[in-house]
Amino acid sequence: MLEVSQLTRSYGEFLAVDQVSFAIGPGEIVGLLGHNGAGKTTIMKMLSGYLEPDQGDISIAGLDLAAHTKAAQRQLGYLPENLPVYPEMAVADYLEFAARLKGLWGSAGRDEIRRVVRATDLGARLLSPISTLSRGLKQRVGVAQAILGEPGLLILDEPTNGLDPTQTGHMRELIRELASQATVVLSTHIMQEVDALCDRVLILRAGQLSVDARLEALRRSNRVLLTTTLAPAQALATLAAVEGVAAVAQTNTRAEGAAFYYQVELSGHIDQQPVCGQLARTVLDAGAEVFTLQMEHRDLETLFREASEAPLSTLPGAAGQREVSDAA
């Protein structure tokens, strides 16, 4: 649905986006993350056609954005962070205005407005001036104008910013429903939103794409957490001798009862399950008990911090290591 190749953009001497490439397939919800100034907003403006790249190509539904701008833009809907609405207009009037801007006139336009009103549950507020709406309802108006014309690509910039927990829950449900018919690019600084909605994450750093990977793969680590009665004097050497184990460390002194906690580092790019099975057998053969044996899972905040600090080449799913076909 969306292909980006070697996208670059500068503001004077400042390089905001530096040769970013990625591809997103139909039905994906992809989170776009990065610190302030990392290049997120610049990329979204270029995807929408609002900004022209200094170099690089953008293809939406097979249409080159530079060569077929209007046709490509008909395939996308855009919700900017600061929604440009007219507060004095009623919701119905604003949606009619937005529909006409998208070339939706007459009965086709009215039918499309009815569809987006049902999708965003705005029927009870159609005659209300936008200025009287809550923040959550204004965001729904923004989503409604974005999905007019049934675009195949939705770009949502901070869609839950400023919403209370109930409004945030409603917005999440709406985005999931929209993803059944469209590809969604979601930019946010709220990690919980990415955790709750996205299957895949793109992390930008200083204008470069530092990580492009599925969340499930990113959360997995090469570390196993083991709780056992095997004492450190025997465990550190015995466990380290298991094939596929790179290092063993005790994570505390003695736990409650007779248990000890260990962190077992596995070698990279190996099948983890057989190694875990061998760890369990090794402990049992030593006459000790196993209380827990599980892979360590990292939260998104930890992953984001790693992506912001570690060398680019060491990161999982680093730019240049992921095949475009994986994303399509």
Contacts of 303 by beta carbon, 8 Å cutoff, 6+ apart: 201, 203, 211, 218, 219
Q: Quote the CA–CA distance of 156 and 187 in Å, as a whole number.
A: 6
pLDDT digits (tens, 9 = 90+) for 23-72: 998 888 999 988 888 888 899 899 988 899 999 999 998 888 988 988 88
Give the per-residue pLDDT at 255.
52
pTM for the predicted model, two decimal places? 0.73
- Please state the domain extents for the chain: 2-217+303-327, 230-288
Which tokens go with 174? Answer: 């709406």
235-292 tens-digit pLDDT = 888 999 998 888 888 887 555 567 888 888 888 777 778 888 999 999 999 999 999 8
At 75-100, the pLDDT tens digits run 889 988 777 788 999 999 999 999 99
pLDDT at residue 257 in the model: 63
Q: Is 228 helix (H, G, I), strand (E, B) or coil?
A: strand
CA 180/CA 28 separation, integer angstroms: 9
- Point out which residues pair with 220 in neighbouring strands: 297
CA distance 170 to 184: 17
The CATH superfamily assigned to 2-217+303-327 is: P-loop containing nucleotide triphosphate hydrolases (3.40.50.300)
